[in-house]
Structure formats: C-alpha cells, structure tokens
C-alpha cells in the first residue's frame, strides 16, 4: 500500500469533486483502516471477507479517489511535548482567505485550519510546548500574517473523544 499520496480530487487540496459512491465493502475497509492503518492487505481482506486482490484494488481505488488521504500515527500531544493547546479564531480581510490559510498552514505548531461562516472567518488549532510559545505563535506569527485583522484565543484545559466519524465508531453510515 502507498504510504502517502498527492492531493487528489475530493481530498485535501483537491477540486472537491466526490468519488463514486461507496459500497458496504468499501465502508468496512474504511472502518478497519481507521481502527488500524497498519493492517496488511491479507488481514484486511480476511476481516472484510474479500480476496486479497479485491482488498488491494479497493484500497488503491480509495487512495486514488482521495477517500483515503494517507496513513499516519495518532500522536497524543501532551506526552509528545505539546502540552498547551488553544483554538484561535481569526477575523480576516475580505478575499484574503486563500493567502491567510496558506500562510497559517506554514506556521509551526498550527495543527488544523478551518474556514468558517459566522462571526469569525478562520479557526486554527495550535498545539505548543508551553504558554510562552503559544503567545509567540499567536502574537508574532498569526497576528503578523497579512490580512489578519484580529484574533481571539481559547485555551484548551482538557480534551475528550467525541462520537467520531462513523468509521471510527464501527458503525458505517447509511447509503
């Protein structure tokens, strides 16, 4: 299996075009790979009750179509030295979202960036080693980006796992 794939339609950086409809076997494959992205094709095929050739072809198609965008370890931030997290809401100048989001994606410690509707335009999740680093990220790097008008920060005290996606709960979505 490929470990990393370039942006594809429907995936991050893609055109937003949807892949074809997923069938029940595709959904079971996604369920298994979300639980353990290191599964061998043989084990995956056994768990979803298809041949190895079928499992391999389906995984390759899901990768090619941008449904699966890669395989990665899930890292616990605090034990990895990133014990301070905050959500940073940005208000930006109209029509600068492409430049601002691209610049935010290059800022060290910014884990996630989302464009919003409503009071704020952008929401970024920042994970830093300490409060001083978080302060520098927000006040120097984020507020220094051209097009950023203002920021508002919310410090994260504790995180909890929510309902997750259907593939992470073992319940595949209805067709």
pLDDT in tens, the chain (175 residues): 434 434 333 444 444 456 678 999 999 999 999 889 999 999 999 999 999 999 999 999 999 999 999 998 888 999 999 999 999 999 999 999 999 999 999 999 999 999 999 999 999 999 999 999 999 999 999 999 999 999 999 999 998 877 666 665 555 555 5
Percentages helix, strand, coil for the chain, rounded to the nearest 5? 35, 20, 50
Residue 136 within any structural domain of the chain:
yes
Rounded CA-CA distance 148/133 in Å is 20
The answer to the question of residue 91 being in a domain is: yes
Residue 161 placed within a domain: no
86-117 burial, b if ≥16 CB within 10 A, otherwise e?
A: bebbbebeeebbeebbebbeebebbeebeeee
Torsion angles phi and psi, residue 129, rounded to 5:
-70, -30
Domain assignment present for residue 150? The answer is yes
Q: Which domain holds residue 120?
A: 84-156
Query: How many domains are contained in the chain?
Result: 2
The pTM of this model reads 0.72
In a shared domain, residues 69 and 88: no
Please tell me whether residues 109 and 53 are part of one structural domain: no
């Amino acid at each position: 299996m490929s470990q990393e794939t370039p942006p594809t339609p429907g995936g991050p950086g893609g055109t937003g075009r949807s892949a074809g409809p997923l069938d029940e076997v595709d959904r079971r494959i996604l369920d298994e790979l979300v639980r353990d992205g290191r599964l061998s094709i043989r084990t995956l095929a056994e768990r979803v009750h298809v041949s190895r050739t079928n499992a391999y072809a389906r995984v390759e198609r899901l990768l090619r179509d941008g449904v699966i965008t890669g395989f990665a370890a899930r890292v616990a931030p605090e034990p990895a030295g990133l014990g301070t997290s905050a959500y940073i809401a940005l208000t930006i100048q109209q029509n600068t979202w492409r430049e601002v989001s691209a610049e935010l994606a290059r800022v060290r410690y910014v884990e996630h960036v989302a464009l919003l509707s409503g009071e704020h335009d952008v929401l970024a999740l920042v994970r830093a080693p300490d409060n001083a680093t978080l302060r520098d990220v927000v006040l120097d790097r984020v507020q220094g980006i051209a097009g950023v008008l203002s920021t508002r920060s919310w410090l994260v005290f504790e995180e909890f796992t929510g309902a997750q996606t259907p593939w992470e709960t073992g319940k595949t979505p209805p067709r």
